[in-house]
Amino acid sequence: MIVTGADRTADVEVSCDVCVIGSGAGGSVVAAGLAERGLSVVMLEEGGSHSRAEFTGEEDRAYPMLYQERGTRATADLAITILQGRSVGGGTTVNWTTCFRTPDRILAHWREVHGLEGIDSEAMRPHFEAVEARLNIGPWSEALVNRNNRVLLDGARKLGWQADILRRNVKGCGNTGYCGLGCPLDAKQGMHLTYIPDALAAGMVLHADTRVTRIETAGGRVVAVHGETLASDRDLPSGPRVVVRPKVTVLSGGAINSPALLLRSGLGDGPVGRRTMLHPVVAVSGRYADRVEGWSGAPQSVASHQFVDRGADQVGFFLETPPLHPMLAATALPMFGDAQRAFLSELAHTSSLIAVTVDGLLPGDVGGVVTLRRDGRPKLDYPVKPALAEAWKAAHVAMAQLHFAAGAEQVASNHVETMAPLTSMG
């Protein structure tokens, strides 16, 4: 059963075996597994419960409905925008369907540096396989790769760089290109269509539109989880309170909201909120003679891991493509007014590449820190260290090379307003 904010007319207090906070990729898998084993499970989700009928492909509707802070969440200095899901299904409702297994080198780093045991690739294999089967994860067809991703694939091949067709969690994909705005066909196999229905069928109760305000503890144990009902169309409390009294609590609200909740609850000792890694992204756009129409087709179906391992003292990065819907593209540009209008007027002929940096692996790389604003909402400070800045510069060069190899007439950074477009690497 799903209880929405509109359904709730009075305060609610319930007891259960397990309370799961968050309905994204982590919480939903846990909730389904526990509910199917006969435990009573209550899930609390800050965002709303939405269906494909509401996924109209309109950006001005989707971002407020499906993203944290209406799609405007950012670091404290506003330098890095954070696209983070906020609905039943969490980020899986709005992600771009890219599905990687955790790389062996990352598992090894966690074991060797952080002391996590039992997570080598062989031990993880059955768990990866189970999730891949439930989410219908499989390779995308090269014949269906859109023009924007074809730029990455063709450019990498011409340069002799590694590139792969990605695996995607889709079933009956219509190649609409609206993955980040909610799939209008229910083709994307997010948590709201897979593990959450599994958990509901096993008896779980999901309270949507419910922001958890604090976790109450006594004697070193959680005795209550307190939440407030949010208005479905606004990020504001609407009245009724929710109190869950569980035997066990699972906190799976994401790398930003989870530490914020612990801090609000007076449970912020030790490393809480520290070492928050974002894998920050930089972008370079290319202008092409033919139409690219980067808003059409599967938004992310190719990746190059050519530069993931750049040596022990350098931050690595891998290359992907984003969708180029007008509002999303506009927010990623450094210019305003006439300059932005001129860029967007050529959006149909524009391809964009992104470099996803692999932060958190170098000694001394502490990432960002989550603290609280005066109103109790999360604040993320993410200082840019020299090694990360160097990786961004190297990524700019690599993306420019790739664009020109793929036939771009002009190439420009998405981050430097005063930089004139390049017409060659010379």
Q: Which of 213, 244, 273 is the last residue of a domain?
A: 273
Answer whether residue 170 shows pLDDT above 80. yes
In a domain, 109, yes or no: no
Q: Does 309 share its domain with 418?
A: yes
Residues 260/35/102/21 CA torsion (nearest 10 deg): -10
What percent of the chain shows pLDDT beyond 90? 90
Question: Residue 233: which pLDDT band, with cuts at 50, 70 and 90?
Answer: low
| Residue 48: strand pairing partners | 87
- The DSSP annotation for 77-142 comes to TS-SB---B-BTTGGGGTS--B--PPPHHHHHHHHHHH---S-SHHHHHHHHHHHHHHTTEEEPPG
Answer whether residue 34 shows pLDDT above 70. yes
Residues 236-245 have a mean pLDDT of: 91
Q: Does 310 share its domain with 257?
A: no
Q: Does 243 share its domain with 295?
A: no
CATH number at residue 198: 3.50.50.60
Percent helix, strand and coil across the chain, each to the nearest 5: 30, 25, 45
Q: Does 284 share its domain with 362?
A: yes
Beta strands in 9-51 (DSSP E): 12-21, 41-44
pLDDT in tens, 252-275: 999 999 999 999 999 988 899 999
- Helix H or strand E encompassing 228: strand 221-230
Q: Does 55 share its domain with 151?
A: no
Distances in Å between the alpha carbon of 315 and those of 270, 289, 358? 27, 34, 6
In a domain, 8, yes or no: yes
Type of residue at 17: D
Q: Does 297 share its domain with 406?
A: yes
In a domain, 9, yes or no: yes
Count of the separate structural domains present in the chain: 2
Q: Does 182 share its domain with 226?
A: yes
Q: Does 280 share its domain with 258?
A: no
pLDDT in tens, 339-368: 899 989 999 999 999 999 999 999 989 999
Containing structural domain, residue 177: 1-97+170-273
What percent of the chain shows pLDDT beyond 70? 100
CB-side neighbour CA atoms (13 Å) of 77: 8
| Residue 211: strand pairing partners | 228
Q: Give CA–CA dist 200/365, Å, rounded.
A: 41
Question: Residue 102: which pLDDT band, with cuts at 50, 70 and 90?
Answer: very high
| Residue 372: strand pairing partners | 378
Q: Does 234 share its domain with 278?
A: no
Q: Which of 221, 241, 273 is the last residue of a domain?
A: 273
Q: Which of 212, 238, 273 is the last residue of a domain?
A: 273
